[in-house]
Copies of this chain bind each other. A is one copy, B any other.
Amino acid sequence: MSTIGDVAERTGLPQKTIRYYEEIGLIRPARSANGYRHFRESDLHKLAFLGRARALGFSIEDCRTLLGLYEDNTRESASVKALAEGHLAEIDRKIDQLQSMRATLADLVTACHGDDRPDCPILADLSGDEDAP
């Protein structure tokens, strides 16, 4: 039997997060007579599952779906794959966006001499200067 402190240590999840996961119904740990949460191996397992899914960037709702699929022995792997592919596409979208930001920003940073004078291509660009770098 393990209390929340143990579980937090073993899963690497903050206690607050574990309580939150219970609150939104992702896990349902039992309670001891003193009111403390009492985590079984299956709870540990679920939390570890959640930790890994979150680390891959799945949303909480995706995690809920994934847990459901995991526990459903009649699932079709196509469902899981579709969810993962959707998430992958979302990640790609975000990477593209960040790389586009990065490119512009890196150009601006390079163009800025960064000394004690006020002249600054970064501000010029932000202010709408057409002749920006």
Contact = CB atoms under 8 A, between A and B. Distances in A.
Interface string A79-97: 0111011011001101100
B117 A70 contact: no
Contacts of A77: 112-120, 122
Nearest to A132: B52
A131 to B, nearest CB: 15
Given A57-B98, A69-B123, A123-B69, A81 B112 contact: yes
A112 B76 CA distance: 11
Which of A53, A73, A102, A119 counts the most B-chain CB atoms under 10 A from its CB? A102
Interface stretch (A1-9, A16-24, A29-37, A103-111): A103-111
A120 B78 CA distance: 9
5 contacts: A49-B127, A56-B101, A78-B115, A78-B116, A84-B122
Interface of A: 45, 48-49, 52-53, 55-57, 66, 69-70, 72-78, 80-82, 84-85, 87-88, 91-92, 94-95, 98-99, 101-102, 104-106, 108-109, 112-120, 122-123, 125-128
**7 nearest CB pairs, A to B:** A81-B114, A77-B120, A81-B112, A76-B116, A78-B114, A57-B101, A80-B120
